[in-house]
Amino acid sequence: MMSEIPYLAVVALIAIGLYIVMFKRNLIKLAMGITLIETGANLFLITLAFRSGDRLSAPVFTSQIMGGSAPAYSLPTPHALTLTSIVIGVATTALLLAFFMKLYQKFRVSTVDEMRRLRG
């Protein structure tokens, strides 16, 4: 049960993020929603790294966690993936916020309803 809590958090983060992006009209909230989805995806990768039992993988370190008898270890690959994904996330979020800032300078746009010059 305890080990499933991170997965529940992943589902909650992604669901809340998608809800915000689909139904909230404020542009800054939109950027926050995207960041939430990103956090959820990163947490998912990190959670996947923790394994127990014998597997044909390269563990970083082994220790007895959560009182189990099988050796528990953490895979290095998901951490590398998460690091990459965080860097990419910073780039996209910064670019998105820059676009929103310029849109506000040009048209005084702060909500999605006003950002619809291109349509049809």
Positions that interact with another protein (CB under 8 A):
14, 18, 21-25, 30, 34, 37-38, 40-41, 44-45, 48, 55-58, 77-78, 81, 84-85, 88, 91-92, 95-96, 99-100, 102-103, 106-107, 112-113, 115-120
**Structural tokens at position 35:** 């960041």
- We find the least distance from the C-beta atom of residue 69 to another protein, in angstroms, to be 22
Among 23, 33, 36, which residue's Cα sits nearest to residue 112? 23
Confirm if 39 and 83 have CB atoms less than 8 A apart: no
CA distance 96 to 27: 10
Q: Of 23 and 61, which CB lies nearer to another protein in the complex structure? A: 23
Q: Of 3 and 92, which CB lies nearer to another protein in the complex structure? A: 92
CA distance 103 to 91: 18
Confirm if 30 and 21 have CB atoms less than 8 A apart: yes
Q: Of 9 and 81, which CB lies nearer to another protein in the complex structure? A: 81
Q: Of 29 and 67, which CB lies nearer to another protein in the complex structure? A: 29
